[in-house]
Amino acid sequence: MENEEIKNDEITFENRIPLEELKSAVENVKTQLSHIIIGQERFIDLLIIGLLADGHVLIEGVPGVAKTITAKLFAKTLKTGFSRIQFTPDLMPSDVLGTSVLNAKTSDFEFKPGPVFSNIVLIDEINRAPAKTQAALFEVMEERQITIDGKQHSMPPPFMVIATQNPIDQEGTYALPEAQLDRFLFKINVDYPAMEEEVRILQTHHDRQGAAPQNEVEAVLDPEKLRVLRSQIQGVRVEKKLLTYIAEIVSKTRNHPHLYLGASPRASIAVMNASKAVAAVDGRDFVIPEDIKKVLEPVLGHRIILSPEREMEGSTTASAIDMITHSVEIPR
């Protein structure tokens, strides 16, 4: 078998792609975040995978579970620009994208970029703004550019949107349309910490004695290194039988009796790209079925809609995804 060596009666694989630097970069980011963030390992892992896969992330959880602070500290581990936008009911699209203003000296209109022109953009409470402001993000999230007055303005790479929303409070909120949800690579549901983790949270807050948590996190990954790491992930191998496995799972969401809306081909691409990043972080230059399984729920969960009958019965999208996954034969 290609790249296979036999040592001490065990089979080891020699990667075609050098992934040591990638693993080191991931560990450095996790180490910095562990200074402040207690637990939430899956949350942090998916944030890193989302960054490496060049995708956007939607974070959902009740108030107080460290959604915003984790996103801010994650951005601080990167030597890139950071912008935070607080979405409110009176926010206008121009408040996010920018606008053209008249220069009195030249009598010409000049474009003044909005806060979305950054590298890591944190949108807090994304469902607080009305539909027209939410729709302003459609182009920039998909094409990394905006069009104002017929002129295109490109985003500086890397560009990643991290958005938060509260699933409980419905007053004064506007549900994100399916077209916008589809532009997020992952939707991460953040739960309450375990009791042991909450004790550690209290201890670290007590030990800091009021010191700002941002001061304990350093930037460890620059844009050029991130570009190299992303190019390495693009080279991770995915066998055709695994591409068929992904396509079959996504296809079954479109005609499953428990689902009203299935996932699009964009979801299939998202599963593939995310599983390649998972494989690379695990030190492999090839994807295995377990990599695909790890990302199915965060990739598909916000892209499918349960039928009204199943929703009334208390079913969840996670259970539907699990049911579909078990119905598809795992390639070997």
* Window from 149-153, 163-167, 195-199, 228-232 with minimum mean pLDDT: 149-153
State whether residue 4 is helix, strand or coil: strand
pLDDT band at 109 (very low <50, low <70, confident <90, very high): confident
* Window from 23-37, 119-133, 160-174, 267-281 with minimum mean pLDDT: 160-174
Q: Identify the pLDDT of residue 17.
A: 84
Q: Is the pLDDT reported for residue 208 higher than 90? A: no
Q: How far is CA 11 from CA 2, 181, 279, in A?
A: 12, 43, 18
Q: Identify the pLDDT of residue 30.
A: 96
pLDDT band at 13 (very low <50, low <70, confident <90, very high): low
Q: Is the pLDDT reported for residue 100 higher than 80? A: yes
**Can you give the pTM of this predicted structure?**
0.91
Residue ranges of domains in the chain, CATH in brackets: 18-221 (3.40.50.300), 235-332 (1.10.8.80)
As a whole number, mean pLDDT of residues 85-93 equals 94
Q: Identify the pLDDT of residue 268.
A: 98
pLDDT band at 267 (very low <50, low <70, confident <90, very high): very high
Q: Is the pLDDT reported for residue 331 higher than 80? A: yes
pLDDT band at 12 (very low <50, low <70, confident <90, very high): low
Kindly state the tokens that stand for 107: 């009598």
pLDDT band at 7 (very low <50, low <70, confident <90, very high): very low
Contact 87, 79 (CB under 8 A): no
Half-sphere exposure of 223 (CA within 13 A, CB side): 11
Q: Identify the pLDDT of residue 58.
A: 97
* Window from 98-102, 257-261, 317-321 with minimum mean pLDDT: 98-102
H helices of the chain, where?
A: 20-34, 41-52, 67-76, 93-97, 131-135, 137-143, 178-181, 195-208, 223-234, 240-252, 265-281, 289-300, 308-312, 317-327
What's the rounded Cα separation, in Å, for the pair 124 and 86?
Answer: 5
Q: Are strands 151-154 and 259-261 parallel, antiparallel or unpaired?
A: unpaired
Surface-to-core class of residue 82, CB atoms within 10 Å of its CB (0-12 exposed, 13-18 middle, 19+ buried): middle
What's the rounded Cα separation, in Å, for the pair 280 and 282?
Answer: 5
| Element containing residue 302 per DSSP (H, E) | none
